[in-house]
Amino acid sequence: MRAHQSTLASLRQIRADLETRRTRAATAEADARKAAAAATAAVSARTALIDQIDAQRDLNARYVSELQSAQQKLSDTVSALPASGSTVPIRPFEGALDWPAVGRVTARFGPGRGSRFGTAITRSGIEIAAPAGAPVTAVHEGTVAFASPFSGFGTLVILDHGAHAYSLYGYLSSVAVTKGAHVDRGARVGLVGSTPAGQPALYFEMRVDGKAVDPLQWLKPRY
């Protein structure tokens, strides 16, 4: 009887051990399935991210190409403008011109980076982040040589300051001047609109002797 009871106890212990092992195996199997699912999800997410980065890179490349084409067309347009005179030459005011709008420079003149994806881009002007609808004013007196929509720059105003010197105001939501009109320094030329990407900003460019120059060298320093 004692031997029989001992055998039963051993069997019960063996059964308990087997049940424990079965439970552990089931848990391990469930964990393995979760890990496999997580790995599959991670691979899918990585693939989707790579596709998104590639798509964004292609979009940036297209944007850069379009912007450079627009800048070349704008340069050709300015070069073709008829020469005019100005009562007050702009050259003596280098570094002392008032800013065309109150805001922060978000894109600088010259070669730089178009985005976090490293797309190279060379700009002929600067972008100033400013509230939509904020006033845009003339940095110097001149004659309105252009005041119409321009591909890549929204609505654009070009002021002729004489001696092949120009200031350009792009991304405008509206224009307050007409072609041929004389504009005094500080007079409103329009209102801040949006960039092609949708951010409120002003595009500002300056050309002296028909060539694009860094506007920050002509505007009053900001400290």
* Each residue's pLDDT tens digit, 130-162: 999 999 999 999 999 999 999 889 999 999 999
Between 67-71, 128-132, 214-218, the lowest mean confidence (pLDDT) is in 67-71
Residue spans of the domains in the chain: they are 1-223
**Predicted TM-score (pTM) of this structure:** 0.70
Query: d(Cα 67, Cα 63) in Å, to the nearest integer?
Result: 6
- Strand ranges in 114-187 using DSSP code E only, listed in sequence order: 120-123, 126-129, 135-137, 142-149, 155-160, 166-175, 182-183
The single-letter DSSP state of residue 98 is: P
Across 119-138, average pLDDT: 90
CB 117 within 8 A of CB 57: yes
- CATH topology for 1-223 is Glucose Permease (Domain IIA) (2.70.70)
Asked whether residue 173 carries a pLDDT value surpassing 70, the answer given is yes
pLDDT of residue 36: 83
pLDDT of residue 113: 54
pLDDT band, very low/low/confident/very high, at 11 (cuts 50, 70, 90): confident
